[in-house]
Amino acid sequence: MQEQHIEKINEILLGYFCGGTLLDINSTKDNIPLVAANVQKSTHSFSEGQLLYIYNVFWGMNKKALVVGRHRRKHRLILGVCPIASLSNFRPKLVYEPAVIRKLHGRYIDDRIFMRFFDLPGEFIYIKDYIRAIS
């Protein structure tokens, strides 16, 4: 499973972040790379087992993730904050849903988000920087 994640993250980093560290999201994009996770412990806005897409994180004492997902009662897409401890089953994913892309319009995705959620070998981190240096 770890090798599968490494291959997917490599593909995402080389395909989407080769020119820089931030990816600007606009509504003309067909797909965007995000970290998908499932809610392990219900929160006020999200129910247990629900799929959420992480687009940014607050590291530090609170360790919270900025997410987009469907509200547990209203069933419409919302932007929210969820504790990372309440999430599980992290995986890199290309999101093709137009509603999610529209909801994230005007936001940025940092390429380091993929490094933070997966236990990756040290040499993996330098592949994108090497490609950027020779381009």
pLDDT digits (tens, 9 = 90+) for 43-102: 888 989 999 999 998 877 668 899 999 998 888 999 999 888 889 889 999 999 999 999
Mean pLDDT of 14-42: 87
Beta bridge partners of 49: none
> CA-CA distance, 55 to 77, in Å (whole number)?
14
Rounded to 5 degrees, what angle do the CA atoms 52, 115, 84 make?
40
pTM above 0.75, yes or no: yes
pLDDT score, position 66: 92
pLDDT at 123 over 60: no
Better-predicted residue by pLDDT, 16 or 127: 16
What tokens does 88 get? 């599980």
Q: 10 to each of 23, 25, 43, how far by Cα in Å?
A: 15, 20, 32
